[in-house]
Amino acid sequence: MAKLTIEDLKRIKEKTAKKISVRDGTATAKITVHMGTCGIAAGAREVMGVLMEELTNSGRDDIRVVNSGCIGMCSSEPNVTVEIEGGEPIVYQLINSNKMRQIFKRHVLQGEIQTDFALAKI
């Protein structure tokens, strides 16, 4: 296996940064469903399924959906973080299918933070 050069690492860094950034010119929003063991046990898979359904139905291609592990707040799982370009990330707690639909329609599409479900601004 060939050794990586500094230039190789820089190219990998740039490519990865574009994939994960909300501000890369293609994504206006990033939604993270936290799917550690605790999140999955609390229903994160169902939340992800509903989110993907809502995204498909919206016809939008400028919204990035990702998953991650636990963020350390197991008692408030499932957690979902919404990052809208130009705004602060909002972590939502105790999310179920209905709450996910509401968050997608109102926060992601209309920019209205759903304070009833919000846990924190980060």
Do residues 39 and 71 make contact, with C-beta atoms less than 8 angstroms apart?
no
pTM, 2 dp: 0.79
Which 8-state DSSP code applies to residue 78? S
Which 8-state DSSP code applies to residue 25? S
User: What is the pLDDT, as a whole number, of residue 75?
Assistant: 94
Domains of the chain: 26-121 (3.40.30.10)
The terminus-to-terminus CA distance of the chain in angstroms comes to 41
User: What is the pLDDT, as a whole number, of residue 25?
Assistant: 56
Which 8-state DSSP code applies to residue 114? -
Per-residue pLDDT tens digits of the chain, which is 122 residues long: 678 889 988 888 877 665 555 555 577 899 999 999 999 999 999 999 999 999 999 999 899 999 999 999 999 999 999 999 888 999 999 999 999 999 999 999 999 999 999 988 88
Per-residue tokens: 29: 């929003």
Question: What is the number of residues in the chain?
Answer: 122
User: What is the pLDDT, as a whole number, of residue 19?
Assistant: 57
Do residues 66 and 31 make contact, with C-beta atoms less than 8 angstroms apart?
yes
